[in-house]
Structure 1
Amino acid sequence: TQAAAGVAGVIKMVLAMRHGVLPQTLHVDEPTPHVDWAAGDITLLTEAVDWPETGRPRRAGISSFGVSGTNAHTIIEQPPVVVAEVADDAGPSSRMAGALPHVLSARSPEALRAQAAVLSAHLAVAGEPDRRTPEPVDLAYSLATGRAHLDHRAAVPAGSTREVADMLGRLAAGEHLPAVVTGTVDDGRTAFLFTGQGSQRPGMGRELYAAYPAFADALDAVCAHMDVHLDAPLRDALFAQTEKRPLDRTEFAQPGLFAVEVALFRLLESWG
């Protein structure tokens, strides 16, 4: 949870608001002496307590301080109480509210429009009195999982079957709809996204280094470039199992992560 500490804090406070409980302050044996706790109305909670009722919405401030200097603070507020109306014939649509993506694909733009026209006509007929109208969630699920994924694609966001039929009909007519996403799958270039500082660990890459020459060669090449700028060999810092961990130091953590990530890419590349 190191990289997701801010998200965890938001989740924790939302649950605290929902249950009306101020959670205990964790990992604190005694308050810091560097704060004058008597000067203001603030305290550390040694145990969970009920959230006081003040007649105003509950609010909480959440801070996240990143090791690289990234600081964020957000204030969240208790939402207004909404009494949900339960329909007498709650069906599948009650499981999902809002617009759902209804996806289509075909081998050509013309075939995509033709498919949209066929489905639009089918939904229009399904809406007649003696026919069952499919629920939007069932329709979206079947389109996403029950058909082949071909090169020319469209995604129609809609919250009702009637809306799906209308937008598909307009798509079939060649009309441009800002809400509808269309595109073509091609043989585009591959990109890799690697994580940053905070994910390093002692021994990372050691077993891959021993097992795969492609990984080892790439790691050695990067380490050779880095070692001229460091006061100890980078590979030794990566594979160290000592109590004093070199990877806790930024000058080893960042180039070490870069070296492992380059080696991972070269290993994947060697596999095609």
Structure 2
Amino acid sequence: ATYGQAEGRTEDRPLWLGSVKSNIGHTQCAAGVAGVIKMVLALQQGTLPKTLFAEEPSSHVDWTSGNVRLLRDAVEWPAGEEPRRAGVSAFGVSGTNVHIILEEAPEPVENETRSDEPESPVLRPVAPAWVVSGHTADALACQAGRLREYVVGRPELPVGDVAWSLATTRAALSHRAVVLGGDRSGLVSGLAAVATGQPTTGVVTGSVIPGGVGRTVLVFPGQGSQWVGMGRELAEASPVFAARLAECAAALAPFVEWELDDVLAGGHGFEAADVVQ
């Protein structure tokens, strides 16, 4: 309703309201990103998709207080003079509330004066390397093929911009290839070689050695939320929980110098980081 009352919003420009839940159901922690994906596709296709099972608006909502309408049918959403925007909300039962505003990206501006050809016949620019990776050798080949198709279909893309994006915005997976070339055609040919598994000059492939430097792991233990006696009342009331708790205590026993029951009772190590985690 807040957005529906925005200045300049007329009757023929309502705030359209939809939900991704009607399409794929409850997704818990993935609900927010699912809503973002849905709206990005709506911007891309120029259509606000229909929200299913919304034929009867809720009687608990005052639909007249703001210029808000349900998407009971698909609505065309063409680009206009101002950028299109959409708000995405995600509300979790744990109390997590998130709202973001998406705005369509500006159309790429063609630069007719920019060229990959050298301005001087003496100093020729060196085309940068294009890096590609995948979880497996087949995934690497597929990624190279998709990249080649994308670049061939967009000849206006500067090779330097492509190289920068590949090197800084993509994950470095275990199977990798580096494509070198003197110009765009050489780089595209190198991608084709990676996609088909053919060795060629200007392409270096390899994989990460197992046992090398590992990836960073972030730990979120919930430390600080424990209290003395936590779980003990439930263990007394539920034989199933008590049995599982005993299994955990037995599994920990060979590796620690403390007992789980003592810790839950507020004994040794209750506040120690290595014990709580």
User: TM-score interval w.r.t. the shorter chain?
Assistant: 0.3 to 0.5
TM-score of the superposed pair, with normalisation by structure 2: 0.40
The structure with the greater share of residues assigned to helix is 1
